[in-house]
Chains A and B, each alone.
Chain A
């Protein structure tokens, strides 16, 4: 079983999927600030702390590669019990379900692309990240974080918005803010997304856990057009020349479903990761 579901899922609800457990969308909704409390400055919350810890580990890779390896292993072994922010890849249909569960949903600019490429998204057509939950109603308190503003969306709009980014080829990733609270739904790609990069290039797993699915090609239907190869952000798909078809490496597949939604001949289906014995412990 997915270790996040083990921690935060309810077996009675939606096959135990942790992010579809309403509790993880509501637990922190009424975290009311007492009058004497001051709002914490941006950069001092647990998520930023987690970011700093990851940055500390990352810094070791240049100074002391052996120590770096050890610390990455330690961080990965901690899983949900550590101070690290949890993130998981979800396919489009689950991303839509999450957005339906959560309220409010507001799109905003992507902080990763902002840092990595100096790319500023300024209006609702450009926003590629979302914040979920009532925390978003307080967005104006952190103008540095929500540069360019936010745009609140109703469920229909979110669905259209997610589909738009899926069509463009972005991976949907959810993130926790404060324990198990699902507070972010991002559209990510490599290399400008920090969590995907940390996982693929440096093996830091907690921020980008694989989805509950794995993509499988039906060789009878595949005509070898190669669209899925372009869409895979994880380098899991290769064109197999002698077969004239594409080949998906299940070990590398994160189950984001981009190849499935892009396949013109509907030759790819998402299979349950846990239905495959060799993959069920691979998250």
Chain B
């Protein structure tokens, strides 16, 4: 398997504040590249998905990204940028 041509996927977490409640990119990605995780984990208390900053969004499988750009289109905050490495001539 070739892992060398994976893109650099940046998520601007100052724009993407409620990924768990929004989850548009998580659901649309055909390759299931993204993961969400709780940031404010407190024992005995549920984290409110609508509270900004309570969940984060990360890229777990960038080597599976094909560059279809569905996530960029669907993101209401324009928080995602994808840059593929320059192809060698």
Contacts and interface: CB of A to CB of B under 8 A. Distances in A.
B61 to A, nearest CB: 8
B64 A62 contact: no
B23 A118 contact: yes
Given A62-B63, A115-B35, A191-B31, A143 B23 contact: no
B46 interface: yes
Contacts of B45: 143
Contacts of A65: 3-4
Contacts, number: 47
Given A65-B3, A116-B26, A118-B23, A201 B64 contact: yes
Contact of A143 (B22, B34, B44): B44
A114 B34 CA distance: 11
A144 B43 contact: yes
Interface residues of B, number: 27
A120 B22 CA distance: 12
B39 to A, nearest CB: 12
Contact of B36 (A61, A115, A144): A115
A29 to B, nearest CB: 25
A138 interface: no
A147 interface: yes
B37 interface: yes
B6 A62 contact: yes
B86 interface: no
A74 B47 CA distance: 38
Given A62-B3, A65-B3, A65-B4, A117 B26 contact: yes
A144 B46 CA distance: 7
Contacts of B19: 118
Interface string B12-52: 00000001101100110001101111100101111101000
Which 7 pairs, one residue from A and one from B, show the smallest C-beta to C-beta distance?
A118-B23, A118-B26, A191-B32, A115-B35, A118-B36, A65-B3, A144-B41
27 contacts: A41-B43, A61-B63, A62-B6, A65-B3, A65-B4, A115-B36, A115-B37, A116-B26, A116-B32, A116-B34, A116-B35, A117-B23, A117-B32, A118-B19, A118-B20, A118-B22, A118-B26, A118-B36, A120-B20, A120-B49, A143-B43, A143-B45, A143-B46, A144-B38, A144-B41, A191-B32, A201-B64
Interface of B: 3-4, 6, 19-20, 22-23, 26-27, 31-32, 34-38, 41, 43-47, 49, 61-64
